[in-house]
Every structure is written in C-alpha cells, then in structure tokens.
Structure 1
Amino acid sequence: MVNYRKWLLLSGVSLFFISVSLSVYFGLKALQYDNKLTQLESSSKQTYHFVLIPEEMDNDYWRLVEEGAREAEKDLNVTLEYSGPVQADIEEHIKKIDMAIASKVDGIITQGLNENQFKPMINKAIAKGIPVITIDTDAPNSKRIAYVGTDNYLSGFLAGQALIKDTKGKAVVGIITGHFAAEHQRLRVQGFRDAVKNEPGIKIVAIEESNITRIEAAEKAGKILAEHPEVTAFYGTSALDAIGIAQVVERMGIAEDMYIIGFDTLPETLELLKKGTIEATVVQKPYEMGYKAVQLMLDIKNGKTISPVHHTETRVIHKEDLPLKQESLQRSVSRP
C-alpha cells in the first residue's frame, strides 16, 4: 500500500515537471518565432542613408532646402545627413561628394555647380552604384539620375520680362550674380539677357559676382554705381544679392529712384519688398526641392523608374502680391 502511494506521488511530481518543461519549451519557441517576425518586419522597413550636400551650409536658402529634406526624412523613414562647405567653395564641395562616395552612402543629393568639375565626381558615384540627384543646379551631361529644382533659364527670362514691364522698357541695368562659374547663376543671367535683348530702351552696362554673400553684393553694387552712375536698375541672381544691393541704395539715399529685382523670398527680402526698396523678386520653392529630392531618391532605391527632370514652381511677385504667408511661398509641398 505504501509502495502504491509512493508510486502515485512520484508519478505526479514527474508529470508536473514534464508539464513545466513543455510549457517552457513551447514558450521559448513562440518567443523565437516572434523575434523572427520582428526581424522580418524590420528588414522590410530598411532605413537608407542619404546625404544632402549644399553649396553653403548656413545659407538661409539652403536651410529651407534642408527643412524640406528633413520633413521627407521623417515622413519616409530614411536617414538624412546634411553636410557641405561652411562657405561656398567648389573644391570643398567636390571633396564632400568624394567623402560621401567613400562612405558608401545609399544616395547623394547635390548641385552640379560647374559641370566640368562636378561631372567626373557624379559619374564616379554612379559607377560605384550610388545614385545621384542634382538639386537647384543641374549637370545634364553627367550620369545623374534626375534633377529637382527651378528651371533657371526660365526664371531669368521671367525676371527680364518683369523688369521690362515695370520700367516700361527703359532702364540702365547692373547685374550682381552669385558666381560666374556656377551653372544655375549663368542660366539666370542668360535668360535675363535674352528677355531684354530686343528692348532698345534697356541696356546692361555691368555684371559683378557676390560669392553669394550680402557683404560682397553690397560692395559690388557700390562699385557698379561708382563706375556707372547712370544705372537705374539692378538684377540680383542669388538669394542675398538683392538684399546687399538694397543696403547700398538706401545708404546712398537713392532707393526711390532705383529699381531692384532679386531672387527668393527670405524674410528680409519680403520686408524690403513691402517697404518698396525691392520692386520684385523671383519665387522659388527650396523647401519643395528638398522634400521632392528625398522622395525621388527613395523611389530609385525601391526600383521605381523616375523622370529625369522635375521642375519646381517659378514666378515673380511684387509688393501688391503681399501679404503672402511665408508657408505658402516656401514650404508648400505635395506629400506622398
């Protein structure tokens, strides 16, 4: 009788341990299965590392491009690096592209400032399997996948048309441009020249470069006025040019008699437009450029075929077009 009871007790204990062991075993299996599912889900949501290389890191215009790209980074679950020259420097810019190639990033978004210099580096990235999208300034003869940004020739042409209308076809013009070697600046000048070339009352007497700083824009505007006191109008082709020109004409007390047309809608530009010192400015969409470039780069990585050219909106606004919210001018964008 005693042996029977011992047998029952041992059997119960054995069954208990077997039950616990099986529970632990199947629990571990379930946990391993859940981990595998998590790993599969994570791999299906792969994060790509893109780099945006601007002409100048702290330039207000490029900060707007970055803002758009950052918004896309958040919306599209990618990683974006923003890295470029502190001040505009083509050699430094090219070095940054080369560093991105060496780092084996998943995509490069940059300008094609001077095609002779940028084309070899863009083609090098493509040869290494790294897609390149040009932004703001194209390099159409390179192997870049796509361009996102303003039609720079058209924007210059629109500026020329606006000057003709606003001055009734009579003006002596000085031009301040960011860089003579930068393709987008060259196209903005060429478009402007073509727009006014058949207007007998309009004469372009000088062109200087500002190196994309308001200080040099002001210095060069002063130089033009000293050498050509007959100038009655200025055209600035980069974001800070019109601001620098405005500082000079206000200081000289000739703001009321001087026509200024510039580029972009930085807060200071809009204030000068409201004040009447700047007569008109060309509106670009830097925020949209940044967002769209990241969106297209992700499409490329996901195997989609994209168009090679994506022009963003360009138009000219005057004081009477204000007030327009900064958001509507700069940060509007179509999201996926």
Structure 2
Amino acid sequence: MKMRSALLLALLFLVTVSSCTRQVERLPTEHLKHVEVVLRTQESEYWRTVKMGAEVAAKEFDVTLDFRAPADEADVKGQVALLEQSVASKPNAILLAANDYKALSPAVEEAAKQHIPVVAIDSEVDTPQVRSFIGADHYAAGQQAAAQLIKWIGTTGQIAIVSNRLGDRNTELREQGLLDELAHYQGIQVLEKVYGSTNRELAVQLTDEVLKNHPGLSGIVALTENASLGAASAIQSRNLQEKVKIITFNSTPEELALMQEGVIQAAIVQNPFSIGYLGVKQAAEAANGHKLPERTKTEIKAIDLTNMFWSDNQKLLFPFIK
C-alpha cells in the first residue's frame, strides 16, 4: 500500500511539473552577484525543497549561491559561526533561515555594518537590520492545527503535543496558536507537551512514552517535520491509528503516504519551494539596490484526503512554483 501511494504521488508530481510553464523575467544586472544562503539545516525534506527553490531562482536572476547549514537545527552556535563566515566572505547579499530568534542578531547587525543586505526566510531574527522577511504566519498555522484536531476528535478528549526544542520561535508560535484556539473548548485536556524532537528517532521515543503513559489519549499534534514522522511512526507501531488521531506539519512524501494509509489525518502545509525561490529573488533585488517589501507572507493550508489532489493544492504538495 505504501509503495503504491508513493508511486501515485511521484507520477502526479511528474505530470504536474511537465504541464507547468512560466514566463521568466530577469533582473537587469551588470555582473553576476553572489548570495550566501545559511539554512537551519539541510537534513530534511523541507529544507531540501527550500534549496531547490533557491537554485531555480538563482538561475533566473543571475546570481551564484553558496549554502551553509548545521547538521542539526539544535546547533545554534554552529549556525552563528556559519553566518559569521558568510559575512566575512563579503557576498552581495545573505539569505538566512535562523535557528534562534536572538542568537543570530549580532552577526546580522555586523552584516549591516558592512552594507551586506540580509533577507530572512522561514524564521525571524530579533533585529531591525533584516531587510525583509519571507515566511508563514506560524501562530495562524497553530490555530489551523487546532481546528483540524477538533474536526477529527470532537470537542472533548485528551491530547498531547510533540514539538521541537524549547526556545525555537517558530514552534513556540505554532504551539501558542494551537493552545489559544483549543482554550475555546473546555472538554479538551492537554495532558503532556514533549520537546527535543529535532530528529525523528527521538520523536519516536518521546511519543512512545506519551502513548504508554496515557492510554486514554485521543489526539496528538506534532509541530515539526521530524516530530510528525516520529509521532506517526510511534502510533503506527502500536497499531493505534484508529484510536489516536494525529495532525502534523509539512508534506514529505512519507507523510502524504501515511495520510493515504489513515495514520495521519491532516497536515498543515507550507510552500518551502516558494520560500526558497522568493528568498533568492529578493536577495538578488537587494544586491542590485532595489527596495524590498518589509514582509512577504507565504501560504499555509490544511491538507487531508478530501483535498490533497485538488489542483489548487499541487503547488504546496510538490516542489514547483507557478
């Protein structure tokens, strides 16, 4: 079943991409510009798709790219060092997806002192020296996750939250949106919140403990890609997919296959390809002296079996941009 689902998704992707055409408008550049790209990590489907979008934009807007990223999103010090190296290389612009809201600020401010524009994608940085931010409204994404959970378990039930490390701004915003929305339902009890699932294996262990300690659990919300895959795996290994409903984040091929198999009920989906593409586009514009919008909000959408194959949702589920 899983192989058949994956094959169906792959075929749909090929058909969609082959039918997609776009007019290309190039920036007027006197010479090739260089953009340093510092990502949260490259060890996930989400960030590989961001990179894909960035590479497409680089070809269209005549810039060269160098990618830097720590192996683990939890390695904040490592990412700070990588950003400092990028600043020292004196590029024409920097594209940054920060692992920490505050820790990356000094290096961004140093870039500004050297007149190197910094564009932030996916996660914000606590400094006004960022020229532009491109990304989703993570608080609203948490609210959407709550709405999907209520849709599947009703207005009463015991739930758990599986999240990233403490201090990660994106997941904190998602969690706050989730909890604020769930506060409208007195019958919903949040029994446990577990953190530290920056890798899938740890998320499996954490979720398995939650399932063992709370046999009456009716729902889980997993706030990151690794948390989602790990939590879904733990539910499936205990054969609890009929009893415990799970709402996840992102749209890896494995998540979509698990959705078709009934393990995952819904996913809150961003458009990482578009985030990478727009990030490089704006970095190229900044490198050429153009004024940037302060914020560009990218789309989020709840995807389930009822709408995952709608044509309007293809750009969110597969890596291309109109």
Residue 244 of structure 1 pairs with residue 227 of structure 2:
no
Q: Tell me which residue corresponds to 1:201.
A: 187
Secondary structure, aligned partner of 1:212: coil
Q: Tell me which residue corresponds to 2:321.
A: 333
Q: Tell me which residue corresponds to 2:41.
A: 56
Q: Tell me which residue corresponds to 1:281.
A: 267
Distance in structure 1 (CA, Å) of the matches to 2:29 and 2:205:
55
TM-score by structure 2 length?
0.86
Gapped regions of structure 2 (runs ≥ 5): 1-27
Cα shift at 1:52: 1.3
* Equivalences for residues 135-174 of structure 1 within 5 A: 135-174=121-160
Q: Tell me which residue corresponds to 1:26.
A: none
Cα shift at 1:241: 1.5
Residue 132 of structure 1 pairs with residue 118 of structure 2:
yes
Distance in structure 2 (CA, Å) of the matches to 1:188 and 1:153:
5
Distance in structure 2 (CA, Å) of the matches to 1:51 and 1:324:
36
Distance in structure 1 (CA, Å) of the matches to 2:283 and 2:121:
12
Alignment root-mean-square deviation, CA: 1.7
Q: Tell me which residue corresponds to 1:77.
A: 62
Secondary structure, aligned partner of 2:66: strand
Secondary structure, aligned partner of 1:320: coil
Q: Tell me the amino acid that sits aligned with residue 57 of structure 1.
A: Q
- Higher helix fraction (1 or 2): 1
Q: 1:315 to 1:85 in 2, by over 3 A?
A: same
Q: Deviations over 1:101-130 (max 9, x none)?
A: 111111111123322212222112111211
Cα shift at 1:150: 1.0
Cα shift at 1:184: 0.6
Q: Percent identity?
A: 24
Q: 1:317 to 1:93 in 2, by over 3 A?
A: same
Q: Tell me the amino acid that sits aligned with residue 319 of structure 2.
A: R
Q: Tell me which residue corresponds to 1:66.
A: 51
Q: Tell me which residue corresponds to 2:300.
A: 314
The answer to whether the 8 A contact 2:174-2:223 is kept is yes
Gapped regions of structure 1 (runs ≥ 5): 1-42
2:107 to 121, 124, 128: 121
Distance in structure 2 (CA, Å) of the matches to 1:44 and 1:332:
25
Residue 45 of structure 1 pairs with residue 33 of structure 2:
no
Structure of higher RCO (CA pairs closer than 8 Å, 6+ residues apart): 2
Q: Tell me the amino acid that sits aligned with residue 274 of structure 1.
A: Q
* Equivalences for residues 213-232 of structure 1 within 5 A: 213-232=199-218
Q: Deviations over 1:196-220 (max 9, x none)?
A: 1120111111111244211111111
Cα shift at 1:84: 0.8
Cα shift at 1:322: 3.0
Secondary structure, aligned partner of 1:303: coil
